[in-house]
């Protein structure tokens, strides 16, 4: 099959993201997109903040906006951050006003009015807004009355990896003494409160299937509190908190079920990643990624504990479990980073021309 070349933009594209980190969802997406652009031989530059991390978050946001504003000139900005001068804005961080209602944080924190100002200016100034879910599209329209025609849907894209269960199992067995035949449930994400780790632990505690182990991967400043919660639920022997890991693909590979009871998520990369590694995936309708799942895998809320019965049934019925895992692998290939790049470049070219 002949490979179709992506049309190269007529201008150099500057991708705007203040932070550089290995674990942030937008940063991981941008890293994948940048590699795909290089493979397609499309020149681009990534612009990060020049200011130190020890500054307060609200001040970093203001200074970064000033940084990109004074260097804009005739440059074409594809921004993944809330700034006042984007040509295209990819709203991967969602809508801050909605997020704030979910998190129930104090409005007295100067970061929030800073984000409110930047967010409103960003949505108004952008020639085009890219969203990764209909959830976020509707929230932008409802919150800021943005014209629907200005908003384009482009789902997240991932790298489709080769699978090797035996190698992953052996590597993790050295550290965690994995047992053949045991079932594994996985959570991946940092920021445990919003992303539902307490609910994850509660659901695991309600499972009747005994031969199971759960992994919680990610960082949180209050991780010890969640270790205590696992003890309170009586599942300390069933749950392992690993902290952040660079070998997360090995955990995806050995997992059977991926459970992500988040309170708010524009579109979690981890949902696609887990599907691509043949996990059965459950998440909440408050996650934009739920839009690509069948309704029976969507929780009505983070504390929709009826999911425990569904997980129990799947863990006890290996044939059905394997069929869904295989179907998820096939479905995930529709969301490759190459397909994401193709759709993104089409929008970039439309805006430039």
Give me the CATH topology for the region 13-157+336-352.
Rossmann fold (3.40.50)
Report pLDDT for 102. Answer: 81
Report pLDDT for 2. Answer: 43
Report pLDDT for 1. Answer: 38
Give me the CATH topology for the region 165-335.
Rossmann fold (3.40.50)
Report pLDDT for 108. Answer: 79
Which of helix, strand or coil describes residue 129? strand
The answer to whether 47 and 78 are in contact (CB under 8 A) is no
Q: What is the pTM of this model?
A: 0.92
Report the C-alpha gap between 263 and 236 in whole angstroms: 24
The answer to whether 115 and 144 are in contact (CB under 8 A) is no
In whole angstroms, how far apart are CA 279 and each of 159, 257, 308, 322? Answer: 16, 5, 16, 9
Report the C-alpha gap between 119 and 96 in whole angstroms: 8
Report the C-alpha gap between 292 and 83 in whole angstroms: 29
Report pLDDT for 105. Answer: 72
Report pLDDT for 4. Answer: 53
Report pLDDT for 328. Answer: 98
Report the C-alpha gap between 27 and 18 in whole angstroms: 9
Q: Where are the alpha helices (DSSP H) in the chain?
A: 25-39, 57-70, 96-103, 111-125, 134-144, 165-176, 197-205, 223-232, 248-254, 269-276, 307-316, 318-332, 337-352
Mean pLDDT, all residues of the chain: 94
| Equal fold, 13-157+336-352 vs 165-335 | yes
The answer to whether 185 and 212 are in contact (CB under 8 A) is yes
The answer to whether 32 and 336 are in contact (CB under 8 A) is no
The answer to whether 16 and 81 are in contact (CB under 8 A) is yes
Q: Where are the domains of the chain?
A: 13-157+336-352, 165-335
Report pLDDT for 352. Answer: 94
Residue listed under structure tokens 């920021």: 191
Which of helix, strand or coil describes residue 133? coil
Which residues does the chain have with pLDDT short of 50?
1-2
Report pLDDT for 23. Answer: 66
Report the C-alpha gap between 202 and 216 in whole angstroms: 13
């Amino acid at each position: 099959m002949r490979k179709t070349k992506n049309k190269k933009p007529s201008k150099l594209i500057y991708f705007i993201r203040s932070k550089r980190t290995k674990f942030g969802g937008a940063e991981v997406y941008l890293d994948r997109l940048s590699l795909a652009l290089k493979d397609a031989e499309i020149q681009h530059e990534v612009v990060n903040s020049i200011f130190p991390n020890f500054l307060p978050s609200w001040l970093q946001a203001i200074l970064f906006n000033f940084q990109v504003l004074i260097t804009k000139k005739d440059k074409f900005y594809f921004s993944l951050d809330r700034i006042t001068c984007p040509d295209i804005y990819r709203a991967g961080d969602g809508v801050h006003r909605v997020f704030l209602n979910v998190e129930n944080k104090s409005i007295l924190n100067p970061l929030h009015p800073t984000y409110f100002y930047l967010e409103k200016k960003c949505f108004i100034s952008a020639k085009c807004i890219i969203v990764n879910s209909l959830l976020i599209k509707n929230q932008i329209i409802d919150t800021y009355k943005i014209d629907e025609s200005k908003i384009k849907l482009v789902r997240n894209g991932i790298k489709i990896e080769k699978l090797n269960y035996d190698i992953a199992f052996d590597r993790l067995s050295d550290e965690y003494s994995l047992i053949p035949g045991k079932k594994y449930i996985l959570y991946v994400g940092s920021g445990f409160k919003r992303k539902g780790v307490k609910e994850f632990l509660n659901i695991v505690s309600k499972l009747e299937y005994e031969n199971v182990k759960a992994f919680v991967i990610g960082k949180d400043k209050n991780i010890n509190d969640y270790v205590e919660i696992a003890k309170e639920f009586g599942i300390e022997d069933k749950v392992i908190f690993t902290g952040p890991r660079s070998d997360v693909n090995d955990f995806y590979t050995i997992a059977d079920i991926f459970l992500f009871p988040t309170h708010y998520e524009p579109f979690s990369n981890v949902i696609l990643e887990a599907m691509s590694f043949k996990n059965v995936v459950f998440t909440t309708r408050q996650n934009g990624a739920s839009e690509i799942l069948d309704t029976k895998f969507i929780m009505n809320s983070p504390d929709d504990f009826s999911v425990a019965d569904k997980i129990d049934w799947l863990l006890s019925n290996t044939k059905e479990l394997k069929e869904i895992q295989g179907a998820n692998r096939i479905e995930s290939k529709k969301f490759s980073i190459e397909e994401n790049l193709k759709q993104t470049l089409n929008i970039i070219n439309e805006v430039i021309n």
